[in-house]
Amino acid sequence: MIDLLLIGATRFLVGGAPHWVGCEPTRRQRIYFANHGSHLDTLLIWAALPAPLRGRTHPVAAADYWGGEGVMGRIARDTLKAVLVNRAGGAEAGDPLAPLRDMLAKGESLIIFPEGTRTTERLPGPFKSGLYRLALDFPQVELIPVYLENPGRAFPKGALIPVPIACAVRFGAPLALGAQEDKAAFLARARAAVSELAP
């Protein structure tokens, strides 16, 4: 019930119409990777997916922000079924990609934001290495670039409620890690794939 309310509120306030530019929705296992400008981003992608895909597609979220016992934490855990990662670093924190690998090993799909944090720029900034490492470990998983239009304007940092500015979700063509492609080249190509979906 809460999921329908979240989807309805998102679509009412900011739209978030899906545009399948380079692929179609499918039950094939995927990693959707997108630019990150707002706390709306996860909801926009999740709501843009057809209902049968939502239950097996898990957003990746920072445990320090989404892992609490408040409303945000309950939505992340109970409704979105988010995979929470520890951004603190250090040996005691362990491998931050371990929970993502566990989810992919179960055959589930993920939503990730390779920049690692929100930005105010129209196009994504440099990608961190996580996407490359997952592509290396799970070559059978389809990598789908996603461009989110206007989420940072609709729900900027510090805002309490979204502003009714139309957003859109553009899904691009699948990307694959080349046989001899190094990390820097792959991440630059992945970032370009997202940027090329911008209007």
pTM for this one?
A: 0.90
What pLDDT score was predicted for residue 13? Answer: 73
CATH topology of domain 2-195: Glycerol-3-phosphate (1)-acyltransferase (3.40.1130)
Per-residue pLDDT tens digits for 69-93 = 766 667 777 778 889 888 666 555 6
Cα angle value 33/83/146 (rounded, 5°): 15
Residues 6 or more apart whose CB falls under 8 angstroms from that of 154 comprise 13, 14, 38, 40, 162, 163, 164, 165, 167
pLDDT tens digits, one per residue of 102-150:
999 999 999 999 998 878 888 999 999 999 999 999 999 999 999 999 8
Q: In the chain, what are the domain boundaries?
A: 2-195
The model's pLDDT over 3-22, given as tens digits with 9 standing for 90+, comes to 777 777 777 778 788 999 99
The pair of three-digit structure tokens given for residue 91, joined into one six-digit string: 């040996």
Q: In this model, does residue 68 exceed pLDDT 70?
A: no
Helices (H), 129-169: 130-137, 151-154
Spatial distance between the Cα atoms of 190 and 145, rounded to a whole number of angstroms:
7
Q: By three-state DSSP, how is residue 82 classified? A: coil
